[in-house]
Structure formats: C-alpha cells, structure tokens
Chain A
Amino acid sequence: MPSIEKPPIQHPGLRRNSLGLTIHDYEGSMSTLCAGCGHDSVTAAIVHALWEMETPPHRIAKLSGIGCSAKTTAYFARGAHGFNTAHGRMATIATGAAAANRDLLYIGISGDGDSLSIGLGHLAHLIRRNVRMVYIIENNGVYGLTKGQFSPSADVGSTTKRGDPNQVPPIDPMSLGLSLGATFLARGFSGDKRQLVPIIKAAAAHRGLALIDVISPCVTFNDHEGSTKSYLFTRHHDTTATESDFVPPAPEIVASIPVEGVVSVTMHDGSVLRVRSVPDDYDPTDREGVAEHLRRAHAAGDVVTGLLYIDESSADLHEMHDTTDQPLRDIPFSQLCPGSAVLAGFGVR
C-alpha cells in the first residue's frame, strides 16, 4: 500500500483486468497508518484480490468499526461506498446493509478489539445469521488506536512493551466461529500475501459469512520480544493447515482431475476452491476435527493458517428469510403498499 502519494498518471504498461481497470483503480486514499503496520499489507492483499476478481468497484460496499484497522476501508476501492461506523457495531450495520440489497459484495474490516471485545456479541450473531459478506479481523493482540492496551486476543503470557504479562485467556475467533456454526473460517498472516489473496477471493464467493482472522502485527505497540503477535513470532510459529487455490467461474466446462489430498469445493457463484491439506489428514469440512486440530495447535503455541473450515451448503440470511431475488431496496412502492381497499378492512367496527 502506498504511504507516499503516487503521481496521478498511470504507467501505460500496467496490466488491466477485463473491466479495463488497473490495480491502482482498486486502491483508496493514502494510508495514515504507521510505516510497517500489518494492516497496510492486508490492504494490499485486498486490492490485489479485488483486481483479480474483476469486481466493479461500485458493486462493493466497505464497512468498518473504529480502530487503526477500521481505517483500512478508506485505503482500498475508492470507487466503492464506505461506512466507517462506530466501535464494535460494524456487524450490525453490515447486516442491515446486506438485508436491504443482497446483490453487493460486502467487505467488513475490523480489529481484534472491535470484534472480540466491544463487538463480540454482534460478531456472534452475525455468524449465526450467516450474513453473506467478507469479514476480516486485522488481529494484532492490542488496541492500536488507543495506544497498546491488551486486546482479548492477547495470549496468556504475552507481554506489553513494558514487560507486563497478560493473564487472562484469549478469545480465538476461529474456535468461536466453529462453535457458533460459522460456514467459512480462514486465518492468514499479513506477511504472507501469497496465501491471503486466494483466501479473500474464496471468501468473496462464499454463500454466507466468511470470517478471516489475519495476524497483522502492530509495529508500534506489539512487535517486541515477548509478544505472540509480532512478525517474528508469527513467522516462527505459523503452521499451515491448508493451501488454497481459487478458480473463478469458467466460461467452458473443464474436466476437473481429482488430485490426492485436494478437496474441491464449488462455490456459490460457480467458482471452484481447491484446498490442499498440508497435514494429510486435515479435513476442512469436518467441524469437530478442525476444532480439535486448533485446540492442539494452540496448546503447542502454533498459529494455524490457511482455509480452516468451509461449509457451502448452509442457508445464508436471505435464504433463511425467503426474501425476493430482487433487492428489497429496489422493489417499487406500488408493490409494497397494499392500497386503500385493504386499509378499510382494519379495526373492529
């Protein structure tokens, strides 16, 4: 992500997608985050994924709460509407937005404080309602914007910059998601764009809520020795559960060759997600098995990354409510108002 302003003229050799847009067209305003902040790398991955997905920018709606992470929504897709809401409440506003128009791509960006502390209740219910959207937690173990207090994702024993250890157990959004019936769970690392981009693309094609926990170090308040959310710690303890390859909907039918150890999931829009398990026995469709794997890895101090769990068969918010295919906000008034004759029938007389 640019942290110094770019000249307005685009390089003529820059590649264009089928909409004729270059990667710069998916960028936003200049980042005001600290140099080296993990959140800017997440932005770069989002920009890359959106450009590759060839989503018209105005068909995206960006939402966030409050925090350094929440500012990220301003730094990508300048052609999209954005809503920087209130601390912890983005999930509710996204739910309402998705209710009104089922046809847009909703991207919510949150922080570990925003989602796991003040907004934990809303996140839980967003998962239960399976609202179709991409929900990214830029997880740095601290409250960046309020200057480095522990967040609920801080591990026991992880220390502040001054050396004070955290004593209360962390909330892991992935384990939480598994227990609440989440239908898409993935963990990435801001330092690994190669892994993150296909995950974001798959998340955007998912039928319901896609929750992505991205370890995104805070260089200013939580990148020291003793932190378990630093660049160094994450690099050393990252264990990959799966590697994902995202194949967009193909115009012609391609025979898919089954590969051993690869799970192919056909996504809602017809695209195919190929997930290769790194430990041979890892099954991203087995809720109990994944939960057990995460428990064991956590006990061993490992950070498991990759597409962790997927269920493409459960109904999303709109399917549960049997709403019309036409977005609610587009239904003409004449179809919504029952008219004078009906009204005359109300009340006891």
Chain B
Amino acid sequence: MSKGLAFDKLREILLEKDWEEREEFAQKLSDLDDQLNSRNRLEEKIQPILDDERESLRHRFPDLFGPQITETISKQIRESQDEVVEALYPILGRMIKKYITSEIEKLSEKVDEQMKLAFSWEAWKIRIKAWFTGTPQKNMIISKLIEPKIEEIFIVEKQSGMLMGSFSKNHSVDQDMIAAMLTAIKAFVEDAFKGETQELDSIDYDNYKIVIKNFKSFFIAVVTSGGMSMAFRDKLDDTLLDFAEKVLRKAKDADEEVKQERITSGLEQYFDNFDKNE
C-alpha cells in the first residue's frame, strides 16, 4: 500500500462512518423536531398516555379528592344555609308533589272502582251525565262544574307581611293591606294550632279559595274563584314552583324596587294566560 492510498483508507475509516452516523442522527433529530412541533403528531404520541392517565384518575378521583370536596361543599352549605334551603324548597316541593300526585291517582282509581260497584240511581244519573258530556265520572263528582280562575296573586315576605310583588286581574283591592292581613291570618292560625311544622295552605272565603304556597322566607297566596279541580291545582302548583325557581330566586338579591318590578313582570309572564290554555 502506497502512502497515499493508506491515508485515504484511514480517512475513510475515520470519517466516512462518522458522516453516516451524523446523517442518521440529523434525520432522527429532524423527525423528533417534527413530532414535537406538529400538534397532530404530538397528539398522536401523547394522547394514549393522557387517556390512560385520565381513565385512572377517574377511578381514583373519589379517593384522591373526595374528602376535600366533601369538606368544601359542607363548608359552603354551612356558610350559606339560607341560600341552600331557598334553592332546595322548589325541588323538595316537587318531590313531595310527585308523591302526593301518585297517592291521589290511587285514590281516584278507588273512586272509579266504587263507581263501578255502585248501582244506585244517583250513580246511574252521574254516569249518564258523564257519558253525555264525555267527562270522566270521578271528575264530575269532584269538581263543582265551575271553571276555576286565578283572580289575584300575592308574593309576601314572611313575618313582616310586606308585599314583594303581585298579579291582579281587576286591581280592585289594596294589595299591601291584603298581604299584611294574610300574614296576620297565617300567623294566627299557625300559632293557634301550635303548628311549628304545619303551615296554613289554603283559606276558603265566600266563593274564593286562597291557595298558599310556603317557601322559606316568603309565601305565595293565589286567590282563585270557581271550583278548584285536581288538574287546576296541579297545574297551579307546577307553575308556582317553576316561577319560584326561575324568577324569585334570581330577583332575590336585587334591590327592593328592581325586585318588585321583576317579580311583577314575571308573574304576568307566567300567569297572564294561565286560565286560558286550560
């Protein structure tokens, strides 16, 4: 081997290999760079890891954070008890109502059964009338055959008896006075019957029935005329709960005038056409 040849060989051995590796290395680097800087490709790589982590977190979440969350929630409840109760009232109301509705359905089925068993002349008369008018027999017995109507609605602060808002078809009465008087009547009846837990829920007066729905810091009194039917009462209850939840809770924190305005316009919105689409 000549001196020159040997040198080339040596260079080849020393550098060629190096070049190759370096190129390979550069390729890898550029690949990596590509993966890191292009979102899609990065996601492709990382997503499975994230998915795994998320899945495991989901399983371990109650253990990991349960105690802190419980602590935070119970602290929140303790610190804002009134708000929580206020928020729960409509929900509880609805739950109780559901239960009662099902109990009434049972009762009404019993009435039906009784009707089937009854062979008296009175029963036949009712039955014939029911066939003619197409009204279920039980409804004919229960309702007084007069369409029920809402005359007035009062939203009243408990204790003070201050009117928070109202709805009226004829604006003939002094609503502040009625609100205060209703509060006094309620206080009287509830105290007279030592009803710490029982609250007055309706007053019959002349041809009017005043339905009272109690909430924590206020009550709603609805003055109705005509025969109160199950369906009407039911719809009224639903609408009142809905109204309490959607309008009253939001209006609660506003200042006095804004509050009264909101409640009153809310009442109009909810009850203007209440009787019509019966």
A is bound by B = no
Chain A residues with CB under 8 Å of chain B are none
